[in-house]
Amino acid sequence: MFYRIELKDHIRVPPMYFNLDVKEAVLKSVKLKYNGLTNAELGFVIDIVNVTDIGEGVIIPGDGASYYETTFEIIAFKPELQEVVVGRIKDIADFGAFLTMGPVDGMIHISQTMDDFVSFAKEKVLTGRDSKKVLKVGDLCRARVIAVSFKDITNPKIGLTMRQQGLGKLEWIEEEGKEKQAKETKKPAAKKSEGKKK
């Protein structure tokens, strides 16, 4: 899920920014520190929206930079357990598929791609044995987050499933919806005709 978060931090403004307006210098320094940051508390920082408050600057002897207590807003993506996400298949391997959800990729184990026995082809295609469903690179899919790990900050892991109802390749979901609608429209007609016979 995407969040707009307000943070407060002491921001170091290096001497190379001293020729800029204070707000511009602080904004550049905040972006330098936070853009692309990944951690368990914030998730994936995408952008710095606004600097809302800048305190008095302090110079620490021996550093040469100035420090400002700063309040600012960020946009972050933090995947939540059970959250439903939409993304595009980025890559397929013999063990599963990788789904791009904007700023980060999640992994769908081969057993979680569809409710069927799945085989992998060298052309990077997953195929369901009975359903004949095909999943390939570039397909738009809906998945549910089932695991999130920030144990290794340089390589966070997000596990996904597409085996539940309403999940999977968007074309599959659309087809299932049409089939369900067709069945529902046939049922009432059958009941009405049974009522006339009696």
Q: Taking 70 as the threshold, does the pLDDT of residue 87 lie above it?
A: yes
pTM above 0.85, yes or no: no
CB 161 within 8 A of CB 112: yes
CB 186 within 8 A of CB 193: no
At 189, phi and psi to the nearest 5? -65, -40
* The residue type at 29: S
pLDDT for 10:
95
pLDDT one-digit tens code per residue, 126-179: 999 998 999 999 999 999 999 999 998 888 999 999 998 889 999 988 888 888
pLDDT for 187:
65
pLDDT one-digit tens code per residue, 40-83: 999 999 999 999 999 998 988 888 899 999 999 999 999 999 99
CB 149 within 8 A of CB 157: yes
Residue ranges and CATH numbers for the domains of the chain are: 2-77 (3.30.1490.120), 84-172 (2.40.50.140)
With a CB cutoff of 8 Å and minimum separation 6, the contacts of 109 are 95, 96, 159
d(CA 107, CA 119): 17
Residue 125 carries which DSSP code? E
CB 99 within 8 A of CB 146: no
pLDDT for 98:
96
